[in-house]
Amino acid sequence: MARRLLAALAAISITVSVLFGDSVDCFDGGGKSEPQPTLCDELILPAGYPCSEYMIQTKDGFLLGLQRVSSSSSSLRFGHAGERGPPVLLLHGLFMAGDAWFLNTPEQSLGFILADQGFDVWVGNVRGTRWSHGHRSYSVKNKKFWDWSWQELALYDMAEMINYIYSVTNSKLFIVGHSQGTIISFAAFTQPDIVEKVEAAALLSPISYLDHATAPLVLRMVSMHIDQMVLTMGIHQLNFKSEWGTNLLVSLCDTRLSCGDMLSSITGIVVSDKLGIWWNGNKGKNCCFNDSRVAYYLDQEPHPSSAKNLNHLFQMIREGTFSKYDYGKLKNVKVYGKFKPPKFDLSRIPKSLPLWMAYGGNDALADVTDVKHTLQELPSTPELVYLENYGHVDFILSLQARQDLYDPMINFFKSSGKYSSI
C-alpha cells in the first residue's frame, strides 16, 4: 500500500505539467483561447429551454460563468408575457459545477423543474470549474490561480453571484445549495451584506461540520495527510479526470472493495471502471439514481478544484470546526491577528431567514450527527426533510427526487415572503 502510494506520488511530481495543462477554459492572463462549449450549448438549449450565458468578475479577479434558464411557458404563470418569476441561484457541490442540476431528464432535474415552475433560474459555477472563465491576470498554470478554498467561494464567488443577480433582477434571491454549496451558503449567510439579499434558502445534504463523516477512503486520506502531502509537493490543482488523479485514487486503495466511496462521498458520483474505482456497498451508497447513466454523468463530472480547498475540508474533519482556513499559528497571526482562524458563527445567520434543509440517513459525508450539530447552532428552526435511504448523490440525481424533495422545496419557496401568492 505505502509503496504504491509513494510510486503514484512520485509519478505525480514528474507529471505536474499534465496536471496544469488539462482542464479549465481560462482567460490565461490576456492571451487568446479557442471558443469553448458552454453549459447552455451542452445541456440546456438541447433540452428546449431558453438559456443565456453571463460572465462576472469577483473582487479578487476570477471570471465566473453564470447561466440564466427559463421555460418558454413559464411567463404564463405570472400573468404577463415576458415577465420572469422570482430568481433562484443554484450552487453545486465539490468537484462539480452547474451541470449537476441538469444531468437527468427535464422531469427529473431540479434546474429544469424550477424553470417549468416559473422561477428565474440562475446557475452558479465557482472558480476553477470548466464552465467558468479563469482569471483576469493569472493563467491556470499559475499556482496563484489555485490559492483558494471554500472560504473564498463563500465570501467572493457566492457574494458576487448574489450581487450581480440582485442588480439585474432588483429582487431578493432564493438559494439552493448541495454539499459544498451548503458550506459556502452557511458561511455567506453569516455576513450581513450578503444575506440581506437572500429571500430564503433550501439546503440539500447540509454541511457546516464534518467531524462525523464516515466515508472510508476520505478518512484514510485524512489520516494519511494526503492533502498536506500534495500541497508540499507543489501541486495546487486537483483534477481527477487526469491520468495522475486516477492513479492516485487507485493507489490509495488496498482492494477493489475499498475504492468505491471516493467520488460518491465527496461529489456523489460513483461506480466507474472509467476512473478505475468500484462500489463497496457500505454506508454512502445511493439508493435511487439510474445506474445506467453513470457513464453519462462522468462525461460531465468531476470538475477540477484546488488542493487548498481539499485541505480546508480535511481541516474541518480533523478539527471539528467550521472556521476560516488554518494557515498555522504564525501565518494565522499575520492573516487573522490571532493564533486560531476565526469561526463562521452560525448564530449570526438571521433568525428571520427562512431555511429548508433535507438530509439522508445513508449519507457518508453530511452525517446525521453533524446535521444535528448545525441545527443546534442555528438561531432559527428550519423546515426539515429526512430521508432514511438517501445517500449524498440522491439529493440531485434520484429518480424520485421530485416527489421526495423538489415539490416540497418549491412549496416552501412559494410560501416564503413576498412570493406567497405564486
The H or E element containing residue 265 is helix 262-266
132-175 pLDDT, tens digit each: 999 999 999 999 999 999 999 999 999 999 999 999 999 999 99
Highest mean pLDDT among 141-145, 218-222, 235-239: 141-145
| Structure-model confidence comparison of residues 147 and 420, the more confident one | 147
- The whole-number pLDDT of residue 84 equals 84
Q: Measured between alpha carbons, how far is 214 from 361 in angstroms, rounded to an integer?
A: 12
Cα-based torsion angle of the residue sequence 271, 272, 275, 277 in order, rounded to the nearest 10 degrees: 50
- Considering the chain, what percentage of its residues have pLDDT values greater than 90? 69
- 27-38: average pLDDT: 58
Q: Is the dihedral of CA 183, 315, 13, 137 positive or negative?
A: positive
Residue 11 reports pLDDT greater than 60:
no
The H or E element containing residue 231 is helix 226-232
- The whole-number pLDDT of residue 55 equals 98
Q: Using pLDDT thresholds of 50, 70 and 90, give the confidence band for residue 289.
A: confident
Q: How many CB atoms lie within 10 A of CB 128?
A: 29
Q: Is the dihedral of CA 206, 208, 214, 215 positive or negative?
A: positive
Residue 236 reports pLDDT greater than 50:
yes
Q: Measured between alpha carbons, how far is 289 from 168 in angstroms, rounded to an integer?
A: 36
Q: Using pLDDT thresholds of 50, 70 and 90, give the confidence band for residue 31.
A: very low
Q: Using pLDDT thresholds of 50, 70 and 90, give the confidence band for residue 125.
A: very high
- The whole-number pLDDT of residue 309 equals 98
- 384-409: average pLDDT: 95
Specify the 3-state DSSP secondary structure of 32: coil
User: Closest Cα partner for 214 from 16, 29, 363?
Assistant: 363
Residue 270 reports pLDDT greater than 80:
no
Residue 35 reports pLDDT greater than 90:
no
Q: Using pLDDT thresholds of 50, 70 and 90, give the confidence band for residue 130.
A: very high
Residue 123 reports pLDDT greater than 60:
yes
Mean pLDDT in the chain?
A: 84
- The whole-number pLDDT of residue 320 equals 97
Residue 74 reports pLDDT greater than 70:
no
Question: How far, CA to CA in Å, does 99 sit from each of 123, 131, 132, 206, 397?
Answer: 8, 9, 12, 20, 12
Q: Using pLDDT thresholds of 50, 70 and 90, give the confidence band for residue 288.
A: confident
The catalytic residues are: 179, 363, 392
Residue 302 reports pLDDT greater than 60:
yes
Question: How far, CA to CA in Å, does 17 sit from each of 95, 143, 234, 384?
Answer: 20, 12, 11, 46
Least confident window among 25-39, 111-125, 376-390: 25-39
- The whole-number pLDDT of residue 252 equals 58
- The whole-number pLDDT of residue 139 equals 96
- The whole-number pLDDT of residue 282 equals 46
Alpha helices per DSSP H over 30-143: 39, 110-116
* Pairing between β-strand 305-306 and β-strand 237-238 as defined by DSSP bridges: antiparallel
| Cell numbers linked to 89 | 441561484
184-207 pLDDT, tens digit each: 999 999 999 999 999 999 999 999
Q: What is the CA 54 to chain-centroid distance, rounded?
A: 19
In 6-70, where do the E strands start and end? Answer: 51-57, 63-69
Q: Using pLDDT thresholds of 50, 70 and 90, give the confidence band for residue 275.
A: very low
Question: How far, CA to CA in Å, does 123 sit from each of 40, 132, 230, 400?
Answer: 10, 11, 31, 22
Highest mean pLDDT among 2-16, 78-92, 283-297: 78-92
Least confident window among 284-288, 302-306, 368-372: 284-288
- 79-86: average pLDDT: 68
- The whole-number pLDDT of residue 128 equals 96
- 262-280: average pLDDT: 41
Non-local (6+) Cβ contacts of 361 within 8 A are 368, 386, 387, 388, 389, 390
User: Closest Cα partner for 67 from 84, 94, 88?
Assistant: 88
Instruction: Say if residues 185 and 203 touch (Cβ distance below 8 Å).
Output: yes
Domains by residue range for the chain, with CATH: 39-416 (3.40.50.1820)
The structure's pTM equals: 0.86
302 preceded by cis ω (within 30°)? yes
Q: How many CB atoms lie within 10 A of CB 139?
A: 17
**Count, residues in the chain:** 422
Residue 16 reports pLDDT greater than 60:
no
- Considering the chain, what percentage of its residues have pLDDT values greater than 70? 77
Q: How many CB atoms lie within 10 A of CB 421?
A: 6
- The whole-number pLDDT of residue 249 equals 59
User: DSSP secondary-structure letter at 88?
Assistant: E
User: Closest Cα partner for 123 from 194, 186, 45?
Assistant: 45
| Structure-model confidence comparison of residues 244 and 396, the more confident one | 396
Instruction: Say if residues 182 and 204 touch (Cβ distance below 8 Å).
Output: yes
Can you spell out the DSSP letters for 325-374? ----HHHHHHHHSSSSPPB--GGGS-TTS-EEEEEETT-SSS-HHHHHHH
Non-local (6+) Cβ contacts of 333 within 8 A are 339
